[in-house]
Amino acid sequence: MTGSNPRVLVVDDEQPILRVLKSTLRTSGLEVMTAETATAALQLVAQSSPDVILLDLGLPDLDGKKVIEALREWTETPIVVLSARHEENERINALDLGADDYVTKPFHMGELKARLRTALRHADRRRRGTSNYAGQGLEVNFERRTVKLMEQEIHLTRKEYDLLSCLVRHAGQVVTHKQLLAAGWGGAISDTQFVRVYVGQIRQKLEVDPSAPELILTEPGIGYRLRTDDWSPSL
Amino acid sequence: MKRTNKDCSDVVPGQPFLEVAWPNAYFLALLLVSGATLISATSLWLIGPRGVSWPFVIALVLIGSWCGLRPALIAAVTAFLAYNFFLVRPRFSFSIAPADVFAMGTFFVAALIVGTMAGQLSDRARAAVDRLRRLTTLLAASRELSGATTAEDVAQCLARHLKSGGNVEVAIWTADNGGRSLLAATEGAAAFGAKAAVDPASVTGSATHVRELKTARGDVGLAAIWADESRAATTEANDWLEALLQLGAIALDRACLAEDISKARLVAEREGLRTALLSSLSHDLRTPIATVLAAASSLAEYDTRFEAATRRELIDTIQAQAERLNRYVANLLDMTRLESGVLDLKPVLLDPVEAMSSALEHMRRRLTGRRIERAFTATGTMISVDPVLIEQALVNVIENAAELSPPDSTIHVQASVENGEAVLAVTDQGAGVVPEEVSRIFDKFFRGQADRRKGGGAGLGLAVTKGVVEAFGGRIGVESPVADGHGARFTIRLPAHRAMEAEE
């Protein structure tokens, strides 16, 4: 994280949870702003440009998805969505509209903070425009389009590389089937089965045990997530 | 089946033409010919043979126009014979003097022509009137059919019109969806077992016509028709029948479609309710859980690194949210029990003031910062209620007031006796209830505008309160606004019992 404390905007209409998030995130070294409505949130983002936005999808005045759309028109600020478990479609839509990640309610504070951290780091990487990635023994050089696992060069087909690099660029964050289809096929195909087949092939080449993947994790019904060094599902 | 006195050729719908029907037509013809004979005989006797045939001409014209072609022809022959027998010499004999052969021939031809012309004209007029009547009845039927909303209404209307217009007995079944069921049957059709018939095939054997009611969409029903077998149906009557059946088929199809649509809408509404219920459940259960889990996991992680005040706040939050969760679950359980009727009502005599105080105590934490105005005047009165349920009911009303009014406002609480009833009322200074929401505010899972804005509220509390209050013979109402266009007052009225009785 950067030198000064990163600033997070928490948007939720539930007072109690807002209070808890405020206290906790502050103690963990983030500067916290809060908003209870979409209108207030949009205003705050424009005024004080936070480093990351934690957005509840069920807002009283405006659909959370509309907030994401409005924000994505002018800012790349990472958005982490808070949503209930049964709102799976909402979640996918939010991600496809440009949200960076999601946390399911109810959540452990540790998990939430990990997601916020990942989002911040991702934004940082994007700003600096890095040409390579390293984590969990995996190294990817974007300029030379090479992939190494434990120092061993791995040969991937073009499509496999396209999909992997998409996951790597969003390392630690969820990538939807739709995003992967766009990365591999330019959106010409909409059958998620293709993604499953190719991810299966990549796993064959990268995972120790492809049937119990530890590098490319499945987000059921949504997409995949590349595991990073500081992220573990047990949090 | 009832037989009607109708000419066989008159298997036309509606009333017989000019009230003259078989055998009356022939009887009338005979009568007129006899009359003409009598008048002619009299005039022959009085004024001689001149003008003797005129009464016959008049009679034949009358017969032709009143009774139709066939009676007119028969009358013409009868008139000729009567003329010959009674009036032409030699009288009382059918033999004709050679001099009279020409006159008699002329009379016969004239009688035939007059009778035929009058008869044909009359028949044509009759047919025209019939056609008009058929059209009118079709129009009336179609108007009534298009007004019928359900398949049964349509079928009954169709059966009624077929019977009254076509004089047939009718039974109508639904389309064959793995079996037909009877939609309508005329009274006479019952004699053929139509009403009892589960399988129309068992009765259609006796029917004159069996018609599948069909539209472009396919089979919409089946009609069996029993017509009077002694009558040979005319093509026109048959056409009328077919036309009406076709109209009926279209109307039936429309009614079935309408029923399908309303059924689909009902399913959709039920689905919508289920979705609303699920999302309400999910939201109301999950929000407190999420808050508790977030606060508890924060405490676990930071513990001593939190400032004392922050820690206190988190612990308070956990406590408040757990209580909220508990209230919600209690409401949910009460609702289920109220609805399934399993709720075991254990009424005891309870002081209404005590009930209200205990509910307020229960909500003490939630009401922090509010001014509570108590007006407890219900002394010496008891209510017969289940203490746990009535507390829940009152807590819900108080919570509703707390949710929907500003944090520093006043909540007025009342426990009094009016007209032999215990009155428990809670008045808040919130935005009040929108008039259009008043009627629905006690509905399950209904959340008012203000409620939705806040994102809170289960939409269950007031429904439970209403259920509980009614279970103990009471009622609940809401007034809003109360003062200055603000506030709402929820009033619960329960039958009051004298405290003395409780001690007996």
B52 and B152 belong to one structural domain: no
A52 and A106 belong to one structural domain: yes
How far apart are alpha carbons B438 and A11 in whole angstroms? 32
pLDDT at B370 over 60: yes
Torsion of CA B388, B393, B270, B324, to 10 degrees: -80
B396 and B432 belong to one structural domain: yes
**3-class SS at B457?**
coil
Residue numbers in A near B320 (CB within 8 A): 16
Domain-embedded: residue B460: yes
Boundary-marking domain end, from A100, A128, A156 = A128
B88 and B200 belong to one structural domain: no
- In this prediction, residues A54-68 reach a mean pLDDT of 88
What tokens does B125 get?
Answer: 């007029």
E-assigned strand segments in B362-474: 371-376, 381-385, 410-418, 421-428
Q: Give the confidence band of A71 by pLDDT, cuts at 50, 70, 90.
A: very high
Q: What's A214's domain CATH number?
A: 1.10.10.10
Q: How far is A86 from chain B (nearest CA, A)?
A: 8
- In this prediction, residues B48-68 reach a mean pLDDT of 80
Q: How far is A11 from chain B (nearest CA, A)?
A: 13
- In this prediction, residues B323-350 reach a mean pLDDT of 75
Boundary-marking domain end, from B234, B261, B288 = B261
For an interface test with A, give the residue of B274, B280, B298 to mutate (most A CBs within 10 A): B298
A121 and A139 belong to one structural domain: no
Which pLDDT score is estimated for B144?
Answer: 87
Domain that holds residue A20: 7-128
Q: Give the confidence band of B476 by pLDDT, cuts at 50, 70, 90.
A: very high
* Whole-prediction pTM: 0.53
Residues B279, B282, B283: CA angle, nearest 5 degrees: 85
Q: Is A17 on the interface with B (CB under 8 A)?
A: yes
Adjacent-strand bridge partners of A31: A7
A93 and A148 belong to one structural domain: no
Domain-embedded: residue A1: no
How far apart are alpha carbons A65 and B380 in whole angstroms? 59
Of residues B341 and A198, which shows the higher confidence score? A198
pLDDT at B268 over 60: yes
Q: Give the confidence band of B234 by pLDDT, cuts at 50, 70, 90.
A: confident
The model's pLDDT over A101-146, given as tens digits with 9 standing for 90+, comes to: 999 888 888 889 989 999 998 888 888 877 888 888 899 998 899 9
pLDDT at B1 over 50: no
- In this prediction, residues B199-218 reach a mean pLDDT of 76
Residue numbers in A near B287 (CB within 8 A): 14, 16-17, 105
Domain-embedded: residue A142: yes
Q: Is A110 on the interface with B (CB under 8 A)?
A: yes
Residue A106: count of CB within 10 angstroms of its CB:
19
Domain-embedded: residue A160: yes
Domain-embedded: residue A2: no
Q: Is B298–A24 a contact, with Cβ atoms under 8 angstroms apart?
A: yes
Cβ–Cβ < 8 Å for B88, B96: yes
Q: Is B295 on the interface with A (CB under 8 A)?
A: yes
Mean pLDDT taken over chain B: 79
Which pLDDT score is estimated for B195?
Answer: 58
How far apart are alpha carbons A45 and B452 in whole angstroms? 25
How far apart are alpha carbons A225 and B452 in whole angstroms? 35
Cα–Cα nearest to A118, from A170, A167, A176, A180: A170
Domain-embedded: residue A19: yes
Which pLDDT score is estimated for B344?
Answer: 65
- In this prediction, residues A144-167 reach a mean pLDDT of 92
How far apart are alpha carbons B479 and B432 in whole angstroms? 9
Q: Is the ipTM of this complex over 0.85?
A: no
Which pLDDT score is estimated for A161?
Answer: 93
Q: Is A27–B310 a contact, with Cβ atoms under 8 angstroms apart?
A: yes
The structural domain count of chain A equals 2
Q: How far is A144 from chain B (nearest CA, A)?
A: 43
Q: Give the confidence band of B259 by pLDDT, cuts at 50, 70, 90.
A: confident
B176 and B104 belong to one structural domain: no
Residue numbers in B near A11 (CB within 8 A): none
Which of A16, A23, A110 has its CB closest to that of B310?
A23
B175 and B242 belong to one structural domain: yes
Domain-embedded: residue A231: no
A213 and A109 belong to one structural domain: no
Q: Is A24–B453 a contact, with Cβ atoms under 8 angstroms apart?
A: no
How far apart are alpha carbons B368 and B68 in whole angstroms? 100
B346 and B490 belong to one structural domain: yes
Q: What's B257's domain CATH number?
A: 3.30.450.40
Domain that holds residue B154: 148-261
Boundary-marking domain end, from B104, B132, B160 = B132
